[in-house]
Copies of this chain bind each other. A is one copy, B any other.
Amino acid sequence: MRTESKIIGLGLIAAFTAATPAFSQELTLESLKAENAFVFNTLLFLIGGFLVMFMAAGFAMLEAGLVRSKNTSMQCLKNISLYSVAGIMYWALGYSLMYTGVEGGFIGSFMPYVWPAAGEINPGDYSVGSDWFFQMVFAAATASIVSGTVAERIKLWPFLLFTVILTGMIYPIAGSWKWGGGWLDTMGFQDFAGSTLVHSVGGWAALTGAIILGARKGRFGPGGQVTPMPGSNIPLATLGTFILWLGWFGFNGGSQLALGDNINASDISRIFINTNLSAAGGVIAVIVLLQLIYKKVDVTMALNGALAGLVSITAEPLMPSPLYAILIGAVGGTIVVFAVPMLDKLKIDDVVGAIPVHLLAGIWGTMIVPLTNPDASIIIQATGVGAYAAFTIIASTIIWYAMKVTIGIRVSEEDEYLGLDKAEVGVEAYPEFASGRV
């Protein structure tokens, strides 16, 4: 998803095509090569896109498994709804805001994007429709991050309204700064597939939400004691993590943006390897640390270790050697082990652990890019991290507060006790099993 790699990939093609128009009726070596590359690049976006689309299911299962059963239906409803909202908003507004005419600036166009009609030749090196699909599922992923943190006490409609603004404006504007060719891209900020653009942005939005919403009732006692509220369905959370891991091959691999030649195909393979090994490093670091510290290995921490490894490598999945990928992921996992209890001490109630996984590991992944990518500088990376922090915190805070003082964002205390499934959805997740023990 970084501009550079794409230019490199297409530069090779350009060297061959030179003055030959790409899709003339005349069949030449150059036109055939260009058309093949077009199909390969489009296929990369479509395959990458459906893998990332499936991450919506991954988030849904992860969150459905990590909330209590009285809020599980609500979590399912939020996830299918947010994915729907994200698609419509990113079509109506987001894609143009992020990619049209940013040119070193801070924001794109408010005019909706129009792609070729059915049966029409699409000029360029890939189908713009496939690019929209690939970018849209990233917007949805950003919203999914928020969903997990604010679970079990937020009302449905304020959450969806926040999603409207997040996927239609906050994420696209922030994204335009780098991937739309905006000011941070001009400056040289590096974020290959979105440790910052997707994961930290989602993480900041989640963090502000968690703080403004407040913790679940009974979670933090007056004397500093923390009441665990264990997830109701661990295999679902495990499934969700595996689906996310699968989807990440599309997330990072597709962000190479081109597939049609030897170098791009090889680079994508390298990205697959590093993505996989970083997640593995995250898991191994977590389970070893938990064994050493607690003598038991909490499986939900291991799952979050995988995700933290994935987030950590996302800013630069191409340049590191496999060994570096493992180490980068291992640090991500380590962050999870120590940040989860830290958040408890700060009385920030992050239901699924999204803040350590997406925000903190996202920052870590972004800051470590200069270690392996000579085009990156620590100062510019820090500038980017800071800019995204400032913008997302401010924008999110305004939205959360505006909703809080008008329509309200939190369910009533009785509804929270009763569970959102009965209160807002009217459908229990497991009507035959749940003992009501909470």
Contacts and interface: CB of A to CB of B under 8 A. Distances in A.
Interface in A33-63: 33, 35-36, 38-40, 42-43, 45-47, 49-51, 53-54, 56-57, 60-61
Contacts of A230: 427-428, 431
Given A40-B39, A45-B269, A429 B234 contact: yes
A110 interface: no
Interface stretch (A67-75, A384-392, A393-401): A67-75
Interface string A411-438: 0000000000000111111111111111
Interface in A216-233: 230-233
Contacts of A79: 238
Nearest to A301: B427
Interface stretch (A99-107, A112-120, A174-182, A402-410): A112-120
Given A130-B272, A270-B118, A279-B84, A299 B425 contact: yes
Contacts of A120: 263, 266
A260 B253 CA distance: 21
A167 B69 CA distance: 38
Contacts of A211: none
Contacts of A65: 235
A354 interface: no
A136 interface: yes
Contacts of A243: 57
A197 to B, nearest CB: 20
A27 interface: yes
Contacts of A431: 230-232, 437
Contact of A38 (B76, B81, B262, B268): B262
Contact of A53 (B50, B265, B276, B283): B276
Contact of A269 (B42, B73, B326): B42
Given A29-B28, A431-B230, A433-B69, A23 B262 contact: yes
A326 B88 contact: yes
Interface residues of A, number: 131
A259 interface: yes
A297 interface: yes
Contacts of A53: 245-246, 249, 276
Interface of A: 8, 15-16, 23, 25, 27-30, 32-33, 35-36, 38-40, 42-43, 45-47, 49-51, 53-54, 56-57, 60-61, 64-65, 68-69, 72-74, 76-77, 79-81, 83-85, 87-88, 91, 115-116, 118-122, 127-130, 132-133, 136, 156-157, 230-239, 241-243, 245-246, 249, 253, 259-263, 265-270, 272-273, 276-277, 279-281, 283-284, 287, 291, 294, 296-300, 302-303, 306, 318-319, 322, 326, 424-438
Given A80-B242, A84-B284, 12 more contacts: A29-B32, A39-B259, A72-B235, A80-B241, A83-B280, A84-B281, A115-B269, A118-B270, A120-B263, A122-B263, A129-B273, A298-B426
